[in-house]
Every structure is written in C-alpha cells, then in structure tokens.
Amino acid sequence: MKLGMFMQPLHLAGAQYHQMYDMDVACAIHADKVGFDELWVGEHTSQRTEPITNALQFLSALIPVTQRMKLCTGVLNLPHHHPARIAADAAMFDHMSKGRFIMGIGPGGLASDFEVFDSDHKASGAMLASCYAMIRAIWNTDAPYDLETAHHKVSIKNTVNEALGVGLMPVPYQNPFPRVATSAMSNFSSTARLAGANDWDVISANFNLPSTVATHWQSYSEGAQGAGFKADRRNWRIARSVFVADSQAEADEYLARESNALAKYFDFMVTHLKAIGYASIFKSRPDMSDDEVNIEHCIREMVIAGDANSVVDQLVAFSEKTGPFGTLLTTFHEWDDEALWRRSMELTAKRVMPKLSEYMEPRLAEAQQVEHA
C-alpha cells in the first residue's frame, strides 16, 4: 500500500501568492523526506484561494528538491487546454523528472475557469476524452500528420523538416506513456466509469462520504468490465483529511481551536458548494437539510484525527465501508501550526502506514482473487 498527498491546495489565511507557494513547496519537500510515495497537485486559473494555476510548472520546481516520490498532476483540466500544448509539456516534464510522473487529467470543475476559457461545461466530459485521445495520437504518430478527434484537430504536414527536427513533437520518457488517473466526487461517478473504461486510475475526493466513495469503485469496475479491462484496487486512490498527533489529547486540543485549518477548509468547501447547488455531496441522509450541512457535520464524517493508533483504527473502519484500496492520499491543509502539521505527516508515514498496510495488503489480495475469479 502507498501513501500520497493531495494538494488542491486551498489557502485561506490571506497570504501573498509567493508565501502560499513557499508553504506548498516546503510541504512537498517534507513529504518526500518523511516517506510519502506520491504528491498530487491541482490547478485553478481563476481562484485566489487555490493559487496554483499550472500544476506542471509548480511540479517542475520540485524535481531538483525531491528524491523519490512521484510528482503527479491532480489534475490537468483538459477542456481548458489545447492537446498539442499538453502533449508537449507532459512529455517534457516526464523527461525532466526521469519518469517520476503520473498524469492526472480531468474535465474541470471551477465555474470561473470555464468562463475565462470560454469552455463548454456541458461538453466537459466529451472534451476530456477527445483531448486525451488527441494527446495519445500525437505521441503515437510521426509527422507529417493530420489528426482529428471528436473535438480537436491537430496538423503538422506542411512545415516538417525531419533532418533539422522541425515539426517533431516530444514523446514521453516512460514507455509507452505515463500512467493516467482522474478524480471522482459524485455518487456513482460517470468520470470513475470513464476511468475504468480507459484503464486509467481513479481518485476519490476527500470531501466525499464513505458511502459515496464506495460507489466510485462500483462505477469504475463496471466501466472496466464493459471495456474488457480487469479493475485493480491497487489503482484506486482515496483522499482523506487526516491529522495525526502524538497523543489523543493533543489532537483534541487542535480540533478545539477556533478556526483551525480543518474547520476553515470545510467552512469554505460547504459555502462554495452550497452556492453552486452541490450541498447534496455532503449529505449522509436523503432527508438531510442544507442547514444541517455544516462544519461540525463535515469534520465528524470526513476528518480522521487522533493519535496514530486511533487514526489506524479509523482508517480501517473507513475501509470496511469502502472496500480495500491501494493508496491513501492525505489532503494538504494550510499550516496554521507548522510544527503540528509537519509532525502529522511524519507520524502518518512512519507509524500509521505500516499498520494500515499490514491490514490492507491481504485484503487487496483477497479482493483481487474474488473479483477476478
């Protein structure tokens, strides 16, 4: 079993851009140092509180200051990008990182990004599939070519000079391509189904209830089966908000602080998703009112906090509801207390994960046997 970190990243303390980036870089370096296997970084063009506008650009800065962990886009919002641009940039990054790259892609979710790029939100799923198909076609095809997918056309045919390298696009370092993943957050997610149908990995969002997360695997498996692939639970990543302290009392004291980072995070997420009509994503009952969706509810249902033993027990209980999964992604939360959050990451890697992996590994093997019998 692997451990990763998912960074939206969300910053709510009102810092300057460079200060937010400095914190994100420091967190990434610490994650690599204490033993995290992966770092996933989101991108949002038009939201100040989620300041990373280009995930590949940010991750490029981490190549020389990290040693072991995979550097992953979480995600490239393909409807907002030209496929030739992403094909070239992703191939370049794959070479620069010597293959420490997993290519997370998605349909986009931020309304203001759809507006600024004049992208069609209703066609975002089709645009995602079309754009990635074009990226693969570019990587697979030697110029000259005239390529077309459902929503994209790319041609290099009149200006090719192979002897000089003119008209030749870069291809990835990994053979044949970097592994692809996408994220899911809705009940019985169509994006999870799309991932299964294309043999991509899937990531379940940290602000999903366990019951919703369980449906992601069902959708993923159905998509894979329909396309003739074998769904592998090791390719399922689940993000959670995790805070580990040296003692239960220390964890309780942090959670009792007014406006701690977890409370501020869920206050923002609830306010934002309610404003765009997505309050249902947080609801644990069909008859639950919007007013009942509050910070206390979210922390109770979606935060795993305590000392190391308690966190292991909570993650085991969580996995009993969702089924076994291959990678835990702990969510980055703003370092309102840097020492505590650094310690939480260290405890997660060194004291939680060995026990969780010991529990999860035989269940992953058993699930593989049963599901592929």
Three state DSSP letters for 249-299:
HHHHHHHHCCCCHHHHHHHHHHHHHHHCCCHHHHCCCCCCCHHHCCHHHHH
**Tens digit of each residue's pLDDT (9 = 90 or more) over 48-62:** 999 999 999 999 999
Strands (E), 51-171: 70-73, 76-77, 101-106, 145-148, 153-156
Q: Which pLDDT band holds residue 90 (cuts at 50, 70, 90)?
A: very high
What is the per-residue pLDDT for 142?
Answer: 96
Average pLDDT over residues 279-300: 94
* pLDDT of res. 216: 98
Give the per-residue pLDDT at 372: 83
**Domains by residue range for the chain, with CATH:** 2-74+179-267+302-371 (3.20.20.30)
Question: Could you tell me the pLDDT band of residue 364, with boundaries at 50, 70 and 90?
Answer: very high
Calculate the alpha carbon distances from 146 to 102, 138, 143, 150, 345 in Å: 28, 10, 9, 14, 48
What pLDDT is attached to residue 79? 97
pLDDT value at position 56? Answer: 99
% the chain with pLDDT above 90: 99
- Mean per-residue pLDDT, 12-33: 98
Question: Model confidence over 228-267: pLDDT tens digits?
Answer: 999 999 999 999 999 999 999 999 999 999 999 999 999 9
Residues 6+ apart with CB under 8 A from 253: none
In order of 49, 95, 117, 150, 315, the CA distances from 142 in angstroms are: 42, 19, 30, 21, 48
Each residue's pLDDT tens digit, 24-74: 999 999 999 999 999 999 999 999 999 999 999 999 999 999 999 999 999
Q: Percentage of the chain with pLDDT > 70? A: 100
Write down the pLDDT at residue 373.
73
**Angle in degrees, 0-180, between the axes of helices 295-302 and 261-275, rounded to the nearest 10:** 110
At 264 the pLDDT is 98
